[in-house]
Structure 1
Amino acid sequence: MTGPFDIIGDVHGCAEELRALLVQLGWQSQPLPTNNALWGNESWQHPEGRIAIFVGDLVDRGPRILTSLCIVRNMIASGVAHCVLGNHDEKLSRWLRGRKVQINHGLERSVAELQRLHRSERGLIATFLEELPLQLILDGGALVVAHAGLSEELHGRNSPAVRAFCLYGQTTGKTDKFGLPIRGDWATKYSGKALVVFGHTPVVEPLWKNNTVNIDTGVVFGGKLSALRYPEREIVSVPARKQYTVPARPLAAVEPEDASLQDL
């Protein structure tokens, strides 16, 4: 696929802001012809044939987890969207399969909403999340999308180390004063020709470093939901309706020089 694309940052259950951002980007509501009992029929189309790319973390922390999942799933089913797997999506899929996970860092919001579903419906959501790719190589290799970013030598590769980088970023094994993991700042050393678009670490404004951009602007923390229009390289954002979750570290404390180091 060569685009054009609308690459959308971490949604985290903020379905109303997602709808507002799609409208701002010129998308139009286009219901599916059939109304599925779980997924409903809400979908969107762009009159100019643009494709939406989601950077993952569709779930946790926000007010409308299932609605967010349904919108993205139906857009994918309509052939107008793709989504990479985020670390919150991956953890939720393990809970949906009945595996033992810690119910924290916003997962409690997803559990509270989804535990009322029938076991078979939870299985369908788990399958949807499990089938999401870790990275997307687009526009002949000129564009790479991965949830937490990806250094050049790992583009197109598949291994446990690549999986960990895509989901969590470059690890150091250290934590900061807030008890949050400190990540290696791979983007400051990046010199690849492919534009890498990612999220994972919320920043006040989309953060460009070399040929990379972090578009997670912390909508669930009261920030904004942002999208990168490609190939235009134009940022479009809508404000959060409210602060749904208080971050462990205020977004204002994330400075440009260390914004990609730590994960909320």
Structure 2
Amino acid sequence: MTLARKDLEGYDLIGDVHGCGASLAVLLEKLGYSYREGVYRHPRRRVIFLGDLIDRGPRIRLALNIARDMVEAGEADIVMGNHEYNALAYCRRAPPEWAGEWLREHSPRHNRIINETLAQFRDHP
């Protein structure tokens, strides 16, 4: 976690974006953040992203890029949500001693939940 600036007045907690990147940008602007030097910044506040940035929405990559850029610039912090955790487990093979092939079973329900995220990253490693 980045150390707080002396002029910091508070935090904005944002969770459950679920791939709505354009809505995230609008929310940040309504909260007083402005897009400067490639990152949303606020003169007196920081964001803490509370996870679940992926799955469902039409702009998953945009949501992740906004959050990642803010974190890397020291304008935000992030906590992994259960959707990110499940996506990582879905894409990792289970160790040989496990009964299943994947850390997260590729069931119809799990396939449906992660389908939009995988589709939006199909051409992006």
Report the AA paired with residue 108 of structure 1: N
Matched, 1:114 2:121: yes
Aligned-residue RMSD, C-alpha: 1.9
| 1:75 matched residue in structure 2 | 70
| 2:84 matched residue in structure 1 | 89
Within 2, Cα distance between the matches of 1:67 and 1:96? 21
Within 2, Cα distance between the matches of 1:45 and 1:98? 38
Deviations 1:79-138 (A, max 9, x none): 0101111110111123444562324352110011112223xxxxxxxxxxxxxxxxxxxx
Report the AA paired with residue 27 of structure 1: Y
After TM superposition, the structure 1 = structure 2 runs for residues 131-210 of structure 1, keeping only pairs within 5 Å, are: none
Q: Is the 8 A contact 2:22 2:62 kept in 1?
A: no
| 1:246 matched residue in structure 2 | none
Deviations 1:162-205 (A, max 9, x none): xxxxxxxxxxxxxxxxxxxxxxxxxxxxxxxxxxxxxxxxxxxx
Within 2, Cα distance between the matches of 1:59 and 1:52? 17
Match of 2:42 among 30, 38, 46: 46
How many residue pairs were aligned? 107
| 1:190 matched residue in structure 2 | none
| 1:30 matched residue in structure 2 | 36
Question: Which structure ranks higher in relative contact order (CA pairs < 8 Å, sequence separation ≥ 6)?
Answer: 2
Greater fraction of residues in helix? 2
Rate the CA distance shift 1:72–1:15 in 2: closer, same or farther, 3 A.
same
Q: CA deviation at 1:3?
A: 4.8
Within 2, Cα distance between the matches of 1:92 and 1:116? 17
Report the AA paired with residue 107 of structure 1: I
| 1:188 matched residue in structure 2 | none
**Runs (4+) of structure 1 moved beyond 6 Å?**
none
Per the normalisation by structure 2, the TM-score is 0.76
Deviations 1:49-74 (A, max 9, x none): x1101110000011111111111000
Q: Is the 8 A contact 1:28 1:47 kept in 2?
A: no
Within 2, Cα distance between the matches of 1:79 and 1:94? 28
Q: Is there any run of 5+ residues in structure 2 with no aligned partner, and where?
A: 95-101
Q: Is the 8 A contact 1:15 1:65 kept in 2?
A: yes
SS at match of 1:29: strand
Match of 2:111 among 97, 104, 111: 104
Q: CA deviation at 1:47?
A: 2.3
Within 1, Cα distance between the matches of 2:93 and 2:40? 32
Report the AA paired with residue 11 of structure 1: V
Within 2, Cα distance between the matches of 1:61 and 1:76? 23
